[in-house]
């Protein structure tokens, strides 16, 4: 099983949009588990489910197994562990290593080909638990100055977490989102990311497509559409590039 964490501490950087499309897209190739670690539960909504008030992925921090939080989705090959509404990570201490422990004790890797984790925009125990099981980290960013700054901050958080956990750094991919090639600032920001963090980390950009925002209404990610759209084309290419890196 390959685990891909979608993360950026900046809000509104298309983490959830990317998570639901990558998860649903990879489900065409194998069985996928989607963990909705953001208590807002937008990834759960994005795949046609709901966040839970009783049992969700965050319940593992209260002694539950991960497997008992699994629910099937309406989409082929896609299992969801939904967000637990109102979970407050700061009410708990000693949360380190719990997700890793569940992965190992429940042999999660025997049941899925891919695990995708959508994360909240915070550097807390939820993100650290996710990074601890990551084979790959995808950092989506909007190509503005603060977007580039946030990528640097996220990379530093990644290196710090790997150092603290005495763990090898996961493969990192940086994904420009809502990119418009006709906007000079977008091009400049892409160039800055290439020179500052390494061209090899950069995935091909995702353009602006309002259908990517509308998809949350229907609970069906754009990647599952049969009709052509820019979002479908861009995320399909993104998944191809990701598979090559895994």
Which residues contact ligand ADP by CB under 6 A?
11-17, 42, 177-178, 206, 208-210, 212-213
CA separation, residue 138 to residues 42, 83, 241 (Å): 18, 20, 12
Q: Which does 9 bind (CB under 5 to 8 A by kind): Mg ion, ligand ADP, none?
A: none
Number of residues that bind Mg ion (CB under 5 A): 3
- On whether the CB atoms of residues 132 and 95 are closer than 8 A, the answer is no
Q: Which is nearer to Mg ion, 18 or 79 (CB)?
A: 18
Three-state SS for 197-243 is: HCHHHECCCCECCHHHHHHHHHCCCHHHCCCCCHHHHHHHHHHHHHH
Q: Which is nearer to ligand ADP, 9 or 102 (CB)?
A: 9
130 near Mg ion (CB under 5 A): no
Tokens of 119: 């994360």
Least distance (Å) between residue 16 CB and ligand ADP? 3
Least distance (Å) between residue 42 CB and Mg ion? 5
- Beta bridge mates, 36: 118
Least distance (Å) between residue 13 CB and ligand ADP? 4
Q: Which is nearer to ligand ADP, 22 or 206 (CB)?
A: 206
Considering only 2, 9, 10, 15, the residue that binds Mg ion (CB under 5 A) is 15
Residue of closest CB approach to Mg ion: 16
Q: Which does 3 bind (CB under 5 to 8 A by kind): Mg ion, ligand ADP, none?
A: none
Considering only 3, 16, 18, 130, the residue that binds Mg ion (CB under 5 A) is 16
Q: Which is nearer to ligand ADP, 43 or 66 (CB)?
A: 43
Alpha-carbon torsion, ordered 156, 129, 13, 147, to 10 deg: -10
Phi, psi angles (nearest 5°) of residue 211: -65, -25
DSSP letter assigned to residue 93: -
Q: Which is nearer to ligand ADP, 11 or 152 (CB)?
A: 11
The b/e string for 162-188 (b: 16+ C-beta within 10 A; e otherwise) is beeeeeeebbbbbbbbbbeeeeeebee
Distance CA 176, CA 156 (A): 18
Residues in touch with Mg ion (CB under 5 A)? 15-16, 42
């Amino acid at each position: 099983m390959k685990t891909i964490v979608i993360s950026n501490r900046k809000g509104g950087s298309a983490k959830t949009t990317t998570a639901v499309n990558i998860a649903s897209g990879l489900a065409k190739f194998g069985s996928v588990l989607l963990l909705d670690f953001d208590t807002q539960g937008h990834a759960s909504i994005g795949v046609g489910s709901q966040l839970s008030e009783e049992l969700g992925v965050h319940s593992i921090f209260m002694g539950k197994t991960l497997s008992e939080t699994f629910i099937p989705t309406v989409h082929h090959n896609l299992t969801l562990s939904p967000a637990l509404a109102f979970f407050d990570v700061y009410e708990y201490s000693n949360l380190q290593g719990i997700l890793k422990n569940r992965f190992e004790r429940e042999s999660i890797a025997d049941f899925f080909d891919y695990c995708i984790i959508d994360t909240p925009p915070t550097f807390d125990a939820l993100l650290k638990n996710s990074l601890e099981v990551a084979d790959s980290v995808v950092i989506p960013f909007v190509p503005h100055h603060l977007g580039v700054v946030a990528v640097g901050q996220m990379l530093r958080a990644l290196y710090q977490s790997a150092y603290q956990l005495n763990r090898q750094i996961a493969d990192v991919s940086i994904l420009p989102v809502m990119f418009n090639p006709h906007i000079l600032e977008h091009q400049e920001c892409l160039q800055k990311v290439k020179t500052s963090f390494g061209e090899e980390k950069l995935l091909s950009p995702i353009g602006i497509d309002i259908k990517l925002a509308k998809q949350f209404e229907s609970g069906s990610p754009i990647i599952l559409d049969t009709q052509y759209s820019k979002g479908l084309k861009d995320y399909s290419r993104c998944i191809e590039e990701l598979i090559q890196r895994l």
